[in-house]
């Protein structure tokens, strides 16, 4: 499964809500999300109209690692079948 090429930061923040992340604050164009629980996990997403593929990949890898999933499984949970 390939990463989407036209995903915005706002859309990614919304999509990560499906796996338990909540927007805790926004400073300028950066969106801070938190996964409540023990341990608490924080990620920061740039609120750009189109995220760079490397940035998106790093965020997805970090979230997948925290959730003890592989990257492919997380992408299926976020965006369904083929992306």
Domains of the chain are 9-75 (3.30.920)
H-run or E-run covering 26: strand 22-27
Q: Structure pTM? A: 0.89
What is the pLDDT at residue 83?
44
Distance CA 3, CA 41 (A): 22
Task: Give residue-wise pLDDT tens across range 12-62.
Answer: 999 999 999 999 999 899 999 999 988 899 999 998 889 999 999 999 999
Residue 81 pLDDT level (bands cut at 50, 70, 90): low
H-run or E-run covering 3: none
Residue 3 in contact with residue 82, Cβ under 8 Å? no
Distance CA 72, CA 70 (A): 6
Distance CA 1, CA 82 (A): 6
């Amino acid at each position: 499964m390939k990463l989407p090429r036209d995903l915005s930061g706002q859309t990614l923040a919304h999509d990560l809500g499906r796996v338990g992340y909540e927007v805790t604050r926004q400073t300028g164009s950066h969106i801070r999300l938190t996964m409540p629980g023990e341990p608490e996990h924080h990620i920061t997403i740039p609120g750009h109209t189109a995220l760079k593929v490397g940035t998106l990949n790093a965020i997805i890898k970090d979230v997948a690692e925290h959730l003890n999933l592989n990257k492919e499984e997380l992408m299926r949970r976020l965006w369904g079948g083929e992306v």
